[in-house]
């Protein structure tokens, strides 16, 4: 009979606390595998934690958690890259499977960590790092496992989409950002979101998994929405186009082109219909054609849902002695990643960049005379 599978959690903030609560509830209809949370490493034992988390599980030493040989699976929810990279690497070296939502870590070091996991015969999962509750990586790895992906484009940052949606209704960028912060969509320091860094991390991860390429965030060109002119945005909106921060990539005979940039999308386009903090992605595969995923891409419930799904997969894989991560044999080295967007604001329609937005203004000006 399979012994209870041991779990350790690094971090017990909003997301980590929510994950711990669900794991401690031991919902058999969700997991179907006996598991035990042995330790939760936190920075301070004095901080109040979520209801239902026994203080006896809390420790203030990640080193002690990583040395605990009862633990088979480490869940990293602490964020950041320096310490997180060290702890994830040590967990894998020690023979533990790892689940994380750390987009910055996987975007910058995913290929290296996957190579380590593969050598050790372990799982490294991070569905929550790309689209929150959207099963983007599962779709790539499972539904499209035998069908080469040719391109994808998505709105992968709910904060930016919420800001742009609010600006359409009137007001400045600064006012929309303040509203997003009050609503909990934006961080106190929103730089990573509004400057495109967050979307670039997610784009790098998708290029890694969809194309099997060793892409990392520093090799991508990205732009954000900081300083977008509200009057121009509303002018384009009246003409049937909505501004979206797009993360797009395609693979062809010349290699890989990938980039994050704002673009105009027709209102009737699936990505143009996204409101508020919604995320969406269009995947185009050789045989299946176009698949569209849409839903909540950020926040505690969405992130926790994806983390728990990855945990359930790992638990079942341990029992079955198989791991889905074994399908990743390695990432092909790439010499260069080309930009995909022009330097000026352009229109995205059915997967093709068409005329620059300035032509819309020119056409409108001509028709007005």
Band (pLDDT 50/70/90 cuts) for residue 162 is very high
Instruction: State phi, psi for 102 to the nearest 5 degrees.
Output: -85, 90
Band (pLDDT 50/70/90 cuts) for residue 366 is very low
Residue spans in the chain of domains classed CATH 3.30.360.10: 141-295+335-368
The share of the chain scoring above pLDDT 90, in percent, equals 72
Residue spans in the chain of domains classed CATH 3.40.50.720: 5-135+299-327
**Range scoring the smallest mean pLDDT among 75-79, 231-235, 334-338:** 334-338
Band (pLDDT 50/70/90 cuts) for residue 29 is low
pTM for the whole structure: 0.92
- Six token digits for residue 43: 């920075």
- Six token digits for residue 352: 């093709």
Computed over every residue of the chain, the mean pLDDT equals 89
pLDDT tens per residue across span 287-334: 999 999 999 877 788 899 999 999 999 999 888 876 554 445 567 777
Question: Which residue numbers are catalytic?
Answer: 202
Q: Which CATH superfamily is domain 141-295+335-368 in?
A: Dihydrodipicolinate Reductase; domain 2 (3.30.360.10)
Alpha carbon distance 274, 281 (integer Å): 10
Check: CB of residue 77 under 8 Å from CB of residue 10: yes
**Range scoring the smallest mean pLDDT among 28-42, 90-104, 234-248, 347-361:** 347-361
- Helix axes of 230-238 and 357-368: crossing angle, nearest 10 degrees: 60
CATH 3.30.420.40 corresponds to the domain 5-135+299-327 = no
Alpha carbon distance 113, 129 (integer Å): 15
Query: What is the edge-to-edge ordering of all strands in the sheet holding 97-100?
Result: 58-59, 35-41, 5-10, 73-76, 97-100, 124-125
Instruction: State phi, psi for 337 to the nearest 5 degrees.
Output: -120, 120
């Amino acid at each position: 009979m399979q012994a209870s599978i041991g779990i350790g959690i690094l971090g017990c903030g909003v997301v980590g606390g929510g994950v711990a609560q669900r794991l401690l509830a031991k919902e058999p209809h969700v997991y179907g595998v006996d598991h035990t949370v042995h330790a939760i490493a936190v920075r301070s034992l004095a901080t109040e934690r979520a209801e239902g988390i026994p203080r006896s599980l809390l420790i203030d030493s990640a080193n002690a958690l990583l040395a605990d040989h009862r633990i088979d699976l480490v869940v990293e929810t602490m964020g950041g890259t320096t310490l997180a990279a060290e702890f994830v690497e040590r967990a894998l070296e020690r023979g533990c499977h790892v689940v994380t939502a750390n987009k910055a870590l996987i975007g910058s070091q995913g290929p290296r960590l996957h190579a380590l996991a593969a050598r050790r015969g372990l799982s490294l999962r991070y569905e929550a790092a790309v689209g929150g509750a959207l099963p983007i990586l599962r779709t790539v790895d499972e539904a499209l496992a035998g069908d080469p992906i040719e391109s994808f484009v998505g709105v992968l940052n709910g904060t930016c989409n919420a800001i742009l949606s609010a600006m359409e209704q009137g007001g400045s960028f600064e006012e929309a950002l303040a509203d997003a912060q009050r609503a909990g969509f934006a961080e106190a320091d929103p730089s990573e979101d509004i400057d495109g860094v967050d979307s670039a991390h997610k784009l790098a991860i998708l290029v890694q998994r969809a194309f099997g390429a060793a892409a990392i965030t520093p090799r991508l060109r990205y732009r954000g929405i900081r300083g977008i002119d509200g009057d121009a945005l509303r002018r384009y909106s009246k003409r049937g186009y909505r501004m979206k921060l797009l993360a797009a990539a395609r693979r062809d005979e010349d290699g890989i082109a990938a980039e994050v940039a704002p673009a105009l999308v027709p209102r009737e386009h699936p990505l143009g219909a996204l409101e508020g903090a919604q995320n969406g992605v269009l995947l185009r595969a050789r045989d299946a054609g176009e698949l569209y995923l849409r839903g909540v891409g950020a926040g505690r419930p969405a992130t926790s849902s994806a983390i728990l799904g990855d945990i359930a997969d790992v638990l079942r894989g341990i029992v079955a002695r198989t791991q889905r991560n074994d399908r990743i044999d390695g990432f092909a080295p790439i010499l260069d990643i080309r930009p995909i967007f022009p330097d000026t604001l352009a229109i995205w329609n059915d997967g093709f960049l068409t005329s620059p937005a300035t032509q819309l203004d020119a056409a409108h000006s001509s028709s007005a005379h």
